[in-house]
């Protein structure tokens, strides 16, 4: 099954390299001191899940309650045996994935030089479909310190059914693989835990280890300080936001509405705001908490635009998190009822044309939701009613929130006497930053963090554990002081309602309004709104002084300062 897959590496071998790529290939990622030589395993106390302990314990009888693990430097080298390991990249790309794989490769080779690494292609689907390549030293060397997931590709197939697990087991056994490393976000790591439990229950002898990935930054908790990729992606977006701010402060004639990726949580927008000090940054979690309506949001922005106009500043920047629309309580209610209504009447609506469907929806929705719908610009209301995904759900990600908001602000300002009296002019421009940062060359922080996560995953495999997430802590300190170890994935789980079923899942981390990053932002945002306090972070620097090149994100710093 392997031959058809060789194209992935063939293309890479023929690629020309930029000067930076060549120089960057020689970068040696920094490792925590504890991983630099032989390690000893220090076990902590047994763990409990964050909530719903009994339910999670019942669902994971073989992998629940395991202890946290920490690795410490050991004086005596332990003899290691060769081991075959499989690796999967799951979900959206995030800078540093290649370094997790190169760290894993170097880690298992350190255990024994005859160890082998197999990469399953295009995400979890590769395991089920038996598509893989062996990752040898020349391949790994091509990808060290590079962005992207192209070494083996990624995909969003969910590994959740027993048939998939059994199909996977066939190829793992065929290749003599004793451990599988799944690099993914909260859902993929939830599934890694389920797979670990299943393989343990079946006595397969196959270990499963997870690694925390996602630019969204929402896979973190008391024991996982950050997911990889967040640092680089937010630095790339902040560079470009800074450039836009310098442009708009030069021309003084445009308002820039900038939407930032992050399917649900607003960590990316918040971090970019801390780095660049825009005039406005919306935080979805706050909007939900304060029960703000769309009109409240429009009033808030129009108020700042008007006040800046009165000072002669007809320009500014507004950061908007991608997930915003689903957090606005009135729209959340509308979407929930639309999904419910159309789901329950699937057959009835299947044959309707647009006009009939609109009529049906307006006749059956609760009056408050009809009012919300009518308050929206026609195009957006149409999109909400008529564009559905294959499961029949509203496709929220297709809505161009930045245009929706600027359009409504423009309407409000056109009707405002105060804005006219201030001599205000409003010319909005729109941007969406997401893909621009997901495959950037990892910052030094992500290059080091990812390499350490992979190297540490090898140590977890050598320690014989399963159902653990690779964990590197103390990240605001220099890399040598980082603390490597492993966290039982069940420890991060609770039960949530998903697709009308109660499921064990890793708790998603949303922005905490009582957390320091938000508090810092909230304490300064009024000044940023009315004055022009832009910061221009410039591009990521890979070579140079540590204070320029090795700084972690501000979110991480604020969350962990004085700890």
Interface with ligand FBP (CB under 6 A): 91-92, 94, 185, 214-216, 261-263, 322, 438
Selection from 478, 458, 439 nearest residue 97 by Cα: 439
Nearer to ligand FBP, 431 or 530 (CB): 431
Catalytic residue among 216, 231, 441, 446: 216
- CA 435 remoteness from chain centre: 12
Q: Is the dihedral of CA 49, 52, 57, 59 positive or negative?
A: negative
Selection from 138, 20, 152, 17 nearest residue 98 by Cα: 152
Tell me how far, at minimum, the Cβ of 186 lies from ligand FBP, in Å. 8
Q: Please return the burial class of 175, using the count of CB atoms within 10 Å of its CB with bins 0-12, 13-18 and 19+.
A: middle
Q: How far is CA 137 from CA 37, 177, 320, in A?
A: 21, 18, 43
The Cα 72–Cα 392 span in angstroms is: 51
Nearer to ligand FBP, 323 or 488 (CB): 323
End-to-end CA distance of the chain: 50
Tell me how far, at minimum, the Cβ of 233 lies from ligand FBP, in Å. 8
Token look-up 């000090």 returns 277
Nearer to ligand FBP, 262 or 484 (CB): 262
Known catalytic residue: 526? Answer: no
DSSP string over 510-559: PPPTTSHHHHHHHHHHHHHHHS-------S--SSS-HHHHS---HHHHHH
Tell me how far, at minimum, the Cβ of 335 lies from ligand FBP, in Å. 16
Nearer to ligand FBP, 237 or 419 (CB): 237
Tell me how far, at minimum, the Cβ of 203 lies from ligand FBP, in Å. 32
φ/ψ region of 331 (left if φ > 0, alpha if ψ in -120 to 50, else beta) reads alpha
What Rg, from alpha-carbon coordinates, does the chain have?
A: 25
Nearer to ligand FBP, 63 or 264 (CB): 264
SS3 69: strand
Instruction: Tell me, letter by letter, the H, E, C secondary structure of 44-61.
Output: EEECCCCCCHHHHHHHCC
Nearer to ligand FBP, 144 or 263 (CB): 263
Tell me how far, at minimum, the Cβ of 461 lies from ligand FBP, in Å. 23
Tell me how far, at minimum, the Cβ of 261 lies from ligand FBP, in Å. 4
Catalytic residues: 216
């Amino acid at each position: 099954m392997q031959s058809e897959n060789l194209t992935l590496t063939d293309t890479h071998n023929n690629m020309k390299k930029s000067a930076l790529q060549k120089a960057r290939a020689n970068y040696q990622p920094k490792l925590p001191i504890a991983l630099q030589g032989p390690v000893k395993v220090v076990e902590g106390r047994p763990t409990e899940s964050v909530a719903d302990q009994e339910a999670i314990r019942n669902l994971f009888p073989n992998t629940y309650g395991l202890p946290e693990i920490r690795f410490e430097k050991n004086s005596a080298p332990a003899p290691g045996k060769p081991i075959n390991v499989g690796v999967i990249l799951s979900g959206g790309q995030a800078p540093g994935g290649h370094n997790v794989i190169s760290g894993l490769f170097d880690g298992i080779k350190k255990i024994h030089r005859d160890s082998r690494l197999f990469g399953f292609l295009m995400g979890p689907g590769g395991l089920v479909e038996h598509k893989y390549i062996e990752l040898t030293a020349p391949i790994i060397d091509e990808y060290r310190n590079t962005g992207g997931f192209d070494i083996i590709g990624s995909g969003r197939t969910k590994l959740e059914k027993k048939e998939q697990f059994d199909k996977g087991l066939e190829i793992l056994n065929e290749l003599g693989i004793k451990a599988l490393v799944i690099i993914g976000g909260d859902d993929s790591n939830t599934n890694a835990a389920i797979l670990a439990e299943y393989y343990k229950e079946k006595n397969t002898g196959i270990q499963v280890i997870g690694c925390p990935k996602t630019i969204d930054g929402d896979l973190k908790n008391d024991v996982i300080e950050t997911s990889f990729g967040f640092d680089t992606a937010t630095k790339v977006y902040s560079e470009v936001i800074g450039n836009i701010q310098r442009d708009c402060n030069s021309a003084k004639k445009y308002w820039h509405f900038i939407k930032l990726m992050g399917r649900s949580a607003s960590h990316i927008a918040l971090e970019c705001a801390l780095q660049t000090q825009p005039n406005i940054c919306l935080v979805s979690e706050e909007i939900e908490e304060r029960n703000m309506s769309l009109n409240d949001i429009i009033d808030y922005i129009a108020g700042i635009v008007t006040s800046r106009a009165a000072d002669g500043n007809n320009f500014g920047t507004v950061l908007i998190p991608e997930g915003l629309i689903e957090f606005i309580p009135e729209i959340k209610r509308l979407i929930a009822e639309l999904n419910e209504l159309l789901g329950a009447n699937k057959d009835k609506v299947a044959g309707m044309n647009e006009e009939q469907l609109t009529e049906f929806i307006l006749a059956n929705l609760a009056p408050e939701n009809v009012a919300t719908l009518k308050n929206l610009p026609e195009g957006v209301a149409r999109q909400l009613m008529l564009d559905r995904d294959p499961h029949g759900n509203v496709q929220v990600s297709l809505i161009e929130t930045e245009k929706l908001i600027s359009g409504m602000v423009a309407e409000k300002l056109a009707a405002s006497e105060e804005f006219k009296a201030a001599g205000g002019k409003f010319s909005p421009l729109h941007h969406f930053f997401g893909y621009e940062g997901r495959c950037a060359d990892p910052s030094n922080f992500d290059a080091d963090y990812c390499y350490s996560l992979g190297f540490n995953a090898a140590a977890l495999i050598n320690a014989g554990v399963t159902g653990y997430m690779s964990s590197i802590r103390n990240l605001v300190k220099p890399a040598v002081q980082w603390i490597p170890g492993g966290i039982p994935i069940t420890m991060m789980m609770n039960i949530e309602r998903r697709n009308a079923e109660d499921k064990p899942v890793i708790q998603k981390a949303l922005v905490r309004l009582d957390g320091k990053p938000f508090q810092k932002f909230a304490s300064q945002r009024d000044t940023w709104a009315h004055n022009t306090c832009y910061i221009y972070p410039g591009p990521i620097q890979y070579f140079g002084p540590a204070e320029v090149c090795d700084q972690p994100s501000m979110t991480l710093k604020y969350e962990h300062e004085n700890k």
